[in-house]
Amino acid sequence: MDRKKEIQGHLFSIFTIFIWGTTFISTKILLKAFTPIEILFIRFVIGYFAVLALHPHRLNVKERKQELYFAGAGLCGITLYFLLENIALTYTLASNVGVIISIAPFFTAIFAHLFLDGEKMRTQFFVGFAVAVAGIFLISFNGSSQLKLNPLGDILAVLAAVVWALYSVLTKKISRYHYHTILVTRRIFFYGLLFMMPVLFIFKFEPDIGQIMEPVNLFNILFLGFGASAICFVTWNYALTILGAVKTSVYIYMVPVITVITSVLILHETITGTAVLGILLTLAGLIISEIKLPFRSRNK
């Protein structure tokens, strides 16, 4: 792999995770005026038209089988992932969801090993995974927080991690067709919104236009639509194309770290020594997972 391109892939991953790690603030503000499905649908409608404006060209899919991969990516990465995560939050603690979602790289490694050529599991990946999850656990359950098991919510969070892993593998497969990344993202958004339509009738979808036009709500909706959806899904998909599903997915470990740091800077929350230790462990786990260990062959 070209070294310059590899660095570019890591930078895109870091940028994406930094934005995704701050989205909880916007979502938290918007939940005061909108339901989760309203926020989800509106942000991806904005995201769809944003990527359409960025690259207003038609994607001509060569084979019907490829179209199935696009549909699968939209179903897993957009509709199912966000719905499972949001519903999980109504049944269990946010800290539980944060830790459980962070195991997505583990499932990604398994699926990539099974379904992708050249994406084999390495020992240091599992060592890094264990160290990172220990750090994420400390970040999420520090201070007065306590671990409380809520079976339904926790199971939904595990399923969310599984479908995100499937999304990563499907996107990597799609990247091998060499379509433009923005066109790929738009097609995935299209299927995500399409599969979301039936859910709008099941859950309450009655967004108040007056609330949308409130400056604070409008800013946060646009941030989620343009930043976290349009731009970040393009940069994440591009990083997947360069680095592969496994190497890109380990950056998910960084989400709780970014969340804690932005909580301190923006919401003025206090940070504990336990959280600092958790951040250091999480970063160590990320580094261990990403480093390339030299191997020497012994000839007798």
Question: What is the per-residue pLDDT for 236?
Answer: 95
pLDDT per position as a tens digit, 98-134: 777 888 888 898 898 888 887 777 788 888 888 988 8
Whole-structure pTM value = 0.85
Residues of the chain scoring pLDDT < 70: 1, 93-96, 141-150, 267, 269, 292-300
Pinpoint the alpha helices (H) of the chain. Answer: 3-30, 36-54, 64-74, 81-91, 94-101, 104-115, 123-140, 151-175, 181-202, 209-212, 215-222, 232-243, 245-249, 254-265, 273-290
Residue extents of the structural domains in the chain = 3-290
- Are 139 and 278 in contact by the 8 Å Cβ rule? The answer is yes
pLDDT per position as a tens digit, 159-196: 999 999 999 999 999 999 999 999 999 999 999 999 99
Question: What is the per-residue pLDDT for 51?
Answer: 96
Question: What is the per-residue pLDDT for 190?
Answer: 97
- Burial (CB count <10 Å: 0-12, 13-18, 19+), residue 151: exposed
- Are 100 and 156 in contact by the 8 Å Cβ rule? The answer is no
For every residue of 152-166, DSSP letters joined together read: HHHHHHHHHHHHHHH
Longest dimension (CA), the chain: 77
Q: If you count them, how many residues does the chain have? A: 300
Residue 216 to residue 204: CA distance in whole angstroms: 22
